[in-house]
Amino acid sequence: MATKSGTRKRKSSTAKTVIADIETPIGSGGEIQQAPDQGNGETLTTQQGVPVSDNQNSLKVGQRGPTLLEDFHFREKIFHFDHERIPERVVHARGYGAHGYFETYESLADLTSADIFQRKGDKTPAFVRFSTVAGNKGSVDLARDVRGFAVKLYTKQGNWDIVGNNIPVFFIQDAMKFPDLIHSAKDEPDRGFPQAQTAHDNFWDFISLTPEAMHMVMWIMSDRAIPRSFRFMEGFGVHTFRLVNAKGQSRFVKFHWKPKLGMQSVTWDEAVKINGADPDFHRRDLWDTLVAGDKVEWELGLQVFDDKFADKFEFDVLDATKLIPEEQVPIRIVGRLVLDRVVDNFFAETEQVAFCTQNIVPGIDFTNDPLLQGRNFSYLDTQVKRLGGPNFTHIPINAPKCPFHHFQQDGHMAMNNPKGRVNYEPNSWGSDGGPRASSDGFTSYPAEESGEKGKYRSETFADHYSQARQFYVSQADVEREHMRDALVFELSKVKEPNIRVRVVAHLLNIDKGLAEGVAEGLGIAQLPKPATAARAPIKDLPVSDALSMLKNPPQTFAGRKLGVLVTEGFDGKLLAALRKAAKKERANITLVAPVADGIEDDQGQRHAADEILEGAPSVLFDAVAIIVSEKGADDLLIENAARQFIADAISHKKFVAYSKQARELVEACLLNGSLDDAGIVELSTGKSASGFIEACGELRCWAR
């Protein structure tokens, strides 16, 4: 038997699993081949009528080998899927982008020949597009969803696209299943809803029959799936790639983007209310930040490892449903990504930007990850369809910023055809003969591949629960509570009881307490048997604190927003003290008033209101302060919007400050607890204002 990073053949195996007491055949990797009802009895065929033998796996050379282009079923399936939508993207339709640059911290010449990593201090132009996955262009920003995190680097050797997400793993192991996954997550085709939601039967039916998705399910049920801002979320390349140096030596690598301001999410109740108050919340946040002159930064981290580590690692590094804990392979920070400029035109840039996983440069190379191999085929095909033809690189946002020369010509929207008579190669026209290939050009790493041709799922992909459990137990208590609540909410929208039971059967393989909590929330009186695992879960994987957001707080209020509610005659000195403290912390203040024309303080100075109370609920802010006059407090006491503003801030565990005139108003809005809460502070002096802003660096008072 070869090692996991080797290429020799493995024997396939079969297994069976019991989910909700229904016996179902599965492949060697644990993927379920048919739903329990065995379909409608008809044979699945291609569009040409050819019977399909395996709709779960793409054709490969050996169990862990590369995907073969001759797999006509996969090509037809993904081709048709890529062409389902005109003109918006099939997935990641709702996106927002910005310009910036990548700065290299140090030379990585020992690891890679990629020019971008050769010289300390080099700056490379970049364009980044963030997106949701499931919703259409008109959907809301705060859907519970994966967020796309796609980076186009205009290097001196050509464009390099790191097309990733804000979650390091994915639902499926083989690109053959991507159309099925997305079809199940999108609105149901007969009724056209729900939009931008996975809380429906189709999605959870697919998930309940796809054990490999359970690790990703834990991530999307966590707060990672409802980020506070693009600025406060991580990014990941998801797949394992190769770094190749000038000597032809290769090591494996995973890419990480770490936000300089730390991570932050919202609660589900906040997400629902934000979507109602401002469905463009994430877009507006990024736009306002950059227009104000503030930069947004991430650091690029690499997890670099060799074949020796890959062979001893508990899981297969080619499996996109798995990650490598930072405790096992520490992240090496090698540069920073800085966004500093909004687009000039949304359609010309954000909407027309075309990312392709196949866009790599010399010094970077692919691995045999079957999901990555399928993406390399799919993305180019999708962009050709969506942007009207093969010349989408003529659009400025997609064009390289380095010299480029080729013989490609004509086609729809051709803007730059080769000059002169020569449009082929080889030719004998000498200096007029155009470009030629170079020994310095891209060369694939010469990995040896062998094995029988067949549709496989490697046995090394068969563990579907161990890392799902590791992620869950690594979370803080509050995060685990949120995950349980999210599962209950999502599954409560599922109308078919058997689907809910099948999901709980999977959860029993992850954490019994979680499964029992979800079952209780759904009213499932009797727990099902645990789903039979293709490979027994590892129950003692160590806790990885790096997987928790709350265990890694930013400890800063920088880049956050304080909403200050004021009324006529408020204490102007307190507002000035808050502004001073916020500026020192690099935080922002939004002034909220009952009227739009502004408000006058107790010194007779008039202040323009940024928002009116009716249009700016406290869910839009990271912390709030209520600075009012006595009359203003009395007026707000009978205003529903004001009471909701304060009550929501308190119930969402935010830090709340108030002037002495607002004490009774705040007390009246307390649903539970008291003003002795450490996160509810009375403001009286400039020192108290400074202390409040500093305390806000905790972001939430979870103990409330």
Catalytic residues: 92, 165
Phi, psi of 216 (to 5 degrees): -65, -35
Closest-CA residue to 201 (of 504, 491, 524): 491
CB distance 280 to 147 below 8 Å: no
| Chain centre to alpha carbon of residue 168 | 8
Task: Determine how many CB atoms are found less than 10 A away from the CB of residue 635.
Answer: 16
Please say whether the dihedral angle defined by the alpha carbons of residues 75, 81, 87 and 91, taken in this order, is positive or negative.
negative
CB distance 494 to 65 below 8 Å: no
Task: Determine how many CB atoms are found less than 10 A away from the CB of residue 682.
Answer: 14
Distance CA 397, CA 401 (A): 10
Closest-CA residue to 629 (of 561, 574, 694): 574
Q: Where are the beta strands (DSSP E) in 115-205?
A: 123-132, 147-155, 158-165
Write down the number of H helices and E strands in the chain: 17, 22
Is residue 136 classed exposed, middle or buried when 0-12, 13-18 and 19+ CB atoms within 10 A define those classes? Answer: middle
Helix, strand, coil percentages for the chain (3-state, nearest 5): 30, 20, 50
Distance CA 59, CA 68 (A): 6
Using DSSP's 3-state secondary structure scheme, residue 296 falls into strand
CB distance 698 to 546 below 8 Å: no
CB distance 182 to 89 below 8 Å: no
Distances (CA, A) of 185 to 91, 134, 146: 10, 7, 12
Residue given tokens 């390399």 in the structure block: 376
Distances (CA, A) of 1 to 63, 94, 473: 12, 46, 33
Residue given tokens 């030379």 in the structure block: 107
Encoded tokens for 231? 């600025």
Task: Determine how many CB atoms are found less than 10 A away from the CB of residue 564.
Answer: 24
Angle at 358 between CA 363 and CA 104, to 5 degrees: 40
